Amino acid sequence: HTAGAVGFYWVNDVGTRILVTGDVKDPSALPKCDVLITEANYGDHSDPSCHFEDDLEGFRNVMGCGSQVAFGAYAFGKAQRAVELLRDIGYHGTIAMEEKSLLLTRSLVDNAGDIVAIGECDEGEVCIVPPWDLKKLPHSMKKYVLTGRLDYSYPALQISDHLDANGLAKMVEDIDPELTIVYHPSGERPEKFASYLNSVGREAVSLDQVSNVLSNEFL
């Protein structure tokens, strides 16, 4: 989900392999298991807003415009993703960051390159700040918010920290559990994602559908 995020995997006394994830963006390192306990932030296949792709081409185009660029990104998660994307597309210059974003990125991202505290943005420098701090930067800078939301006053680039509905389904297919338990978020999406998985032949339940296995003597 974010730089530094982990899942939990163990084998119980009877040999059942259990994997618990938080929110997921890159499931490529997740092992196969018998029971998968996972999320469904965008697990409603009937909701068009749950289907999206990161606009990596738009991100590259912005970086190729030759102007100073500032990205609005939350300090934890999105700011680190922005740094990783910048390095992945071949930007090796200095990245100036808001203090909290900088500290988290230094702690969580390997090979972040030259990242510094934000100050005066020299020509050619890229800045990453929380979305609400974009207005504090020079008017001459091109400014974008890394988000799927449309309620910001700056142009948005679709860069998500989450898998969309198709990505979640593909994750379950690749991990290949005998049972998937969907526990997050609140509301209807866990049950809707579980229902979708059942419709394509994969046994699944939402956490609300799981009976309490503890007897009263333990409560």
Return the HEC string of 39-78: ECCCCCCCCHHHCCCCCHHHHHHHHCCCCCEEEECCCCCH
**Is residue 153 domain-resident?**
yes
Strand order in the sheet with 204-206: 8-11, 17-20, 35-39, 179-184, 204-206
Can you give the pLDDT at residue 119? Answer: 78
Place of tokens 């500032």: 70
Arithmetic mean of pLDDT, 34-40: 97
Can you give the pLDDT at residue 137? Answer: 92
Q: Over 90: is that where the pLDDT of 213 sits?
A: no
> What residues have CB less than 8 Å from 186, skipping those under 6 apart?
none
In Å, how far are 1, 98, 120, 128 from 124, measured between CA atoms?
30, 17, 12, 13
**Is residue 2 domain-resident?**
no
> What residues have CB less than 8 Å from 155, skipping those under 6 apart?
143, 144, 145
Q: Which domain holds residue 41?
A: 8-50+163-218
Tell me: the pLDDT tens digits for 142-157?
Answer: 999 999 777 789 999 9
CA angle 87-5-29, nearest 5°?
Answer: 80
Q: Are residues 37 and 77 in the same domain?
A: no
**Is residue 125 domain-resident?**
yes
Burial of 34: CB neighbours in 10 Å, binned 0-12, 13-18, 19+:
middle
Can you give the pLDDT at residue 96? Answer: 95
Where is the domain boundary, 118, 141, 157?
157
Q: Over 70: is that where the pLDDT of 69 sits?
A: yes
Q: Are residues 87 and 105 in the same domain?
A: yes
CB 181, CB 204: distance < 8 Å: yes
d(CA 71, CA 6): 26
Q: Are residues 72 and 151 in the same domain?
A: yes
Beta bridge partners of 146: 157
Beta bridge partners of 71: 128, 144
d(CA 145, CA 153): 9
Q: Is the peptide bond before 185 cis (omega within 30 degrees of 0)?
A: yes
**Is residue 72 domain-resident?**
yes
Tell me: the pLDDT tens digits for 146-205?
Answer: 997 777 899 999 999 899 999 999 999 999 999 999 999 999 999 999 999 999 999 999
Percent of the chain, pLDDT > 90?
Answer: 82
Q: Over 70: is that where the pLDDT of 26 sits?
A: yes
Where is the domain boundary, 157, 174, 197?
157
SS3 content of the chain, % helix, strand, coil (to 5): 30, 20, 50
Tell me: the pLDDT tens digits for 80-112?
Answer: 999 999 999 999 999 999 999 999 999 999 999
Calculate the average pLDDT of the chain: 91
